[in-house]
Amino acid sequence: MPERRVSPVAVSQTSTLVTKTGSWKYIRPLYQDRVAPCNAGCPVGIDIEGYMSLLREGRWDEARDLLLLENPLPATTGRVCHHPCETSCNRRQFDEPVSIHAVERMLGDYALEHPPSLTRAAERSEEVGIVGSGPAGLACAYHLARLGYGVTVFDAAPEPGGMLRLGIPEYRLPRRLLDGEIERIRALGVSFQCGVRIGQDVPWRSFLGLFDAVFVSTGAHLGKDLGLQKENVAGVRAGLAFLKAVNRGERPELGRRVVVVGGGNTAIDCARTAMRLGAETVVLYRRTSAEMPAIPDEIEEAEREGVQLVFLAAPVAFHAEDGRLRAVECVRMRLGDADASGRRRPIPVPDDRFTIEVDTVLSAIGENADLAGLPPELAVQESGVAADALGTTSRAGVFAGGDVTNAARTVADALGAGKRAAVGIDRYLRRLSDDGPNGTGLPALRFGNGNISMARWRDADPVHRINALNELVEFDDLNTSHFRRVRRRRDDRLSLAESRGGFAEVNLGLDHEDAVSEALRCFNCGVCNHCDLCLIFCPDVAISRRANGGGYDIALEYCKGCGVCAEECPRGALTLTREGL
């Protein structure tokens, strides 16, 4: 890309106060903060640009607090999120995207090392019951507690965390960090009752009568069958059940070779875990690497550690001797037209089969929600509870979110669903008590077309914004002449021998210095950060900095509407509007 030349600066030899050129214009510049694409692309609904800007200014505690205003588990998401924010990052088209996950992880760890005093709204009388302590349930509990509600979380497992604790291996998410973030939620007054299965230990009818509102976030814990004969033979196991056993501290005997069927995060976690237990591991996936839904970084780590990936292949039969699995027969696949998922449909290639000798097969082709144990009268669709954007279900006072609905099944999406449900519950309970909400509609709460902002719902945005709009800033809206190309910092990692040899955390992230350097790479798209370039390049000296540092004033009697300031603005925070509009 050719470098763009910086415009020359006009210099007047007499006072510019003489000529009031403002009468010439038919357009005028307007400072108008817009939404950065990383914010809009974040399923949790985090003000990423905001905390990056605060870090750039050295305001660590304020950056931490802004992050925690939207995300209760930043140390967790900094490690296990699929970070679509980085795919959305405008810097991706300039050199490389900002390593947002690494900055979030560092700031999340900082929040554990330097705990903030989290504020709660005025105490309310209503009590909310939450069923399920996975990411959706934890997020809903956290935000409701900060809104002033009494919250009790119930879970059938012995400890809270849901799939974060049960399904994600220790080498990706150390339990001490998850425990620390859950303790932060507990410190807000949230009560946890574990080892209690609602619907069995406590009937739903009795349970619903205990609370003013209920949030159902029971997740998806039922592994899908492969649908093959002899699937119940010894040696064929559900991948999720295997991960849960290992996360409980068990070390199952797998034999010499393990085949994992599937291409999602569960499949990759199974493969890397089996390898750590001493097995030679092969992953079978029926599409190509381009369609593989697992997080690309995790796929890369699996290959680095020695996991073999076999694409365009699927199992068709198990072969056993003496009641024990000995081999899996597979068929080659080719890709046809796109199916309902938008990915190309895998089609078996006739008479193209091969056999792999194997001791264990782990099935990891997805999970279903247990819909049989849900509250009565809840409408379901396809494989989940029917719920709107704020978690509202067909039964008044009952909300749902996360994997038990038909939402995208990622940690970030579940956290975002829990936040939206907290807003939905807050709105519902306030209407019942004639204490109406702030009247802000759902579109105005969103970051562009992304998730909602809790700061906007609480009318407590700590970041000063000028005429905030939900308009997204595209790469072409930026003036990249004022930026230089800087390489993205890469996460540190354990050595290959150390990572293969145990369950210590593999991705070590960035140290504070490198994380701040990454924050400095942020374009701060759409938001004025007082760089003074509009002031410097204005040919009429019509722009001046306010004494209190709160932005700029434009002397419209001198501004002739040339548009140089908007053209030179690096971040697209200046727009041009017609006079009189």
CATH number for the domain that contains residue 44: 1.10.1060
CATH number for the domain harbouring residue 379? 3.50.50.60
Asked whether residue 514 is domain-assigned, the answer is yes
Q: Are residues 248 and 346 in the same domain?
A: yes
SS3 11: coil
Going through 359-480 in order, the beta strands assigned E by DSSP cover: 360-363, 367-368, 380-381, 384-385, 398-400
Nearest to 528 by CA among 576, 486, 468: 468
Q: Are residues 268 and 312 in the same domain?
A: yes
> In this predicted structure, what is the pLDDT of residue 467?
65
Rounded Cα distance between 266 and 273, Å, is 10
Mean pLDDT of successive 10-residue stretches along the chain, which has 581 residues: 64 69 81 92 96 94 96 98 96 97 97 93 94 98 97 97 96 97 97 95 93 96 88 92 96 96 96 96 95 94 96 95 93 92 89 95 93 86 90 95 93 97 95 70 85 89 71 93 94 93 94 95 92 92 85 90 93 86 53
Asked whether residue 226 is domain-assigned, the answer is no
**Structural domains counted in the chain:** 4
Would you give the distance in Å from CA 212 to the centre of its chain?
29
Dihedral angle, C-alpha 197, 198, 200, 202, nearest 10 °:
110
**How does 541-576 read in b/e, with b if 16+ C-beta sit within 10 Å?**
bbbeeeeeeeebebbbebbbbbbbbbebbbbbbbbe
Angle separating helix axes 60-70 and 48-56, nearest 10 degrees: 170
Q: Are residues 350 and 270 in the same domain?
A: yes
- Encode 263-293 in three state secondary structure: CCHHHHHHHHHHHHCCCEEEEEECCCHHHCC
Asked whether residue 446 is domain-assigned, the answer is no
How far is residue 183 from each of residues 68, 71, 124, 268, 450, measured CA to CA in Å? 14, 15, 22, 29, 29
Asked whether residue 447 is domain-assigned, the answer is no
Residue 501 corresponds to which tokens in the numbers above? 């040899």
Q: Are residues 499 and 538 in the same domain?
A: no
Residue 64, judged by CB atoms within 10 A of its CB (0-12, 13-18, 19+), counts as buried
SS3 378: coil
Residue 19 corresponds to which tokens in the numbers above? 């000529």
> In this predicted structure, what is the pLDDT of residue 2?
59
Q: Are residues 334 and 288 in the same domain?
A: yes
Q: Which of 343, 365, 387 is the last residue of a domain?
A: 365
> In this predicted structure, what is the pLDDT of residue 152?
98
Q: Are residues 142 and 108 in the same domain?
A: no
Q: Are residues 486 and 468 in the same domain?
A: yes
- pTM of the predicted model, to two decimals? 0.92
Asked whether residue 14 is domain-assigned, the answer is no
How far is residue 371 from each of residues 51, 218, 219, 394, measured CA to CA in Å? 39, 9, 10, 15
Asked whether 360 and 237 are in contact (CB, 8 A), the reply is: yes
Asked whether 273 and 169 are in contact (CB, 8 A), the reply is: yes
Q: Say which amino acid occupies 131.
A: V
Q: Given CA atoms 208, 413, 459, 51 in this order, what sign does their dihedral have?
A: positive
> In this predicted structure, what is the pLDDT of residue 340?
80
Q: Which of 314, 341, 365 is the last residue of a domain?
A: 365
Q: In 403-490, where does DSSP find H-type helix?
A: 411-432, 442-445, 454-457
Q: Are residues 302 and 217 in the same domain?
A: no
Q: Are residues 41 and 28 in the same domain?
A: no
Q: Which of 473, 505, 521 is the last residue of a domain?
A: 521
Count Cα neighbours of 113 within 13 Å in the Cβ-side half-sphere.
10
Rounded Cα distance between 140 and 127, Å, is 13
Q: Are residues 314 and 355 in the same domain?
A: yes
Angle separating helix axes 175-186 and 135-146, nearest 10 degrees: 30
> In this predicted structure, what is the pLDDT of residue 69?
96
Domain limits for position 492: 37-116+463-521
Asked whether residue 166 is domain-assigned, the answer is no
**How does 104-141 read in b/e, with b if 16+ C-beta sit within 10 Å?**
bbbbbbbbbeeeeebeeeeebebbbbbbbbbbbbbbbb
Q: Are residues 416 and 325 in the same domain?
A: no
Nearest to 245 by CA among 233, 253, 236: 253
Report which DSSP code applies to 21.
Answer: G
> In this predicted structure, what is the pLDDT of residue 67?
97
CB atoms under 10 Å from CB of 280, counted, come to 17
Asked whether residue 415 is domain-assigned, the answer is yes
- Per DSSP bridges, beta strands 324-338 and 313-321 are antiparallel
Euclidean distance between the first and the last CA atom of the chain, given in angstroms as a whole number: 37
CATH number for the domain harbouring residue 570? 3.30.70.3270
**How does 187-204 read in b/e, with b if 16+ C-beta sit within 10 Å?**
ebebebeeeeebbeebeb
Asked whether residue 168 is domain-assigned, the answer is no
Rounded Cα distance between 209 and 205, Å, is 7
Rounded Cα distance between 460 and 180, Å, is 26
Q: Are residues 262 and 340 in the same domain?
A: yes
